[in-house]
Amino acid sequence: MTTNTERYGGAALILGVERQRVLRNTYALLALSMIPTVLGAWIGVATGITSLMSPVMSLIVFMVGAFGLMFAIQRNSNSGVGVMLLLGFTFFMGLMLSRLLGFVLSMSNGTSLVMMAFAGTSAAFFAMAMLSTVIKRDLSGLGQFLFIGAIGILVVGIINVFVQSGALMMTLAVLATLVFSAFILVDLKRVRDGEETNYVMATLGVYLSLYNVFQSLLAMFGILGGED
């Protein structure tokens, strides 16, 4: 007869294997998503298509496109369509990043600033990934706090499109770097704890955090270290 120890031990092993599968797929899809992001950013910088839009029009296009695609991804997250939509979403996000990217690259040290932002984002990701393996406590409370912070950053960011305050932009960039770095930890911990079992949605969450960290660092470095 099968003992309770064997039964529960086997169930725990299967659960652990499933969590690792979701985590591996998340990392793989996250790496793949960088390709359309870079492609979109390159096309945007090369053509200058986003610079043709006013800040308000750019905001409208971004909000409609981003939230529309995220909704579609969520609805199709259990099929291959969700993966394709996610890759389309990352291309769109790269395209929308090209306005800031082009501005920074126009500086004499622009390439160095982009590489610094990339290095900082990579460091934040690997640090949070390592922390997610050693922290044992439940981080759902932190996730709720960060969500409120992200909404606040979004609202103030929209206001700043009209205000155009450099000081406010710098403050938002610092806060966004901290908030979304912490979000990477929360999202990866949710996968490890089995709270997120869909790797498409897990990838979307981590990607958005990485995107916001990179964008925020790029803005900060552009403001503080840019040379004409």
Output the pLDDT for position 228: 60
pLDDT band at 93 (very low <50, low <70, confident <90, very high): very high
Q: How many structural domains compose the chain?
A: 1
pTM attached to this predicted model: 0.89
- Residue 160 is predicted with a pLDDT of 87
Residue 161: name the closest of 92, 43, 63, 68 by CA.
Answer: 63
Q: What mean pLDDT do residues 57-62 have? A: 90
Task: Note down the domain range covering 74.
Answer: 4-225
Answer whether residue 3 shows pLDDT above 90.
no
Q: Which residue has the tokens 């909704």?
A: 71
Residue range 49-53: mean pLDDT, rounded:
84
Residue 2 in this model has a pLDDT that exceeds 70: no
Give mean pLDDT, residues 95-124: 93
Q: What is the pLDDT of residues 207-217, one digit of tens each?
A: 999 999 999 99
Predicted pLDDT at 8:
46
9-20 pLDDT per residue, tens: 555 556 667 788
Share of the chain above pLDDT 90, in %: 62
pLDDT tens, 145-187? 899 999 999 999 989 888 888 888 999 999 999 999 999 999 9
pLDDT confidence tier of residue 117, bands split at 50, 70 and 90: very high
Q: Is the model more confident about 4 or about 138? A: 138
pLDDT for position 14? 63
Confidence category of residue 128, pLDDT binned at 50, 70, 90: very high
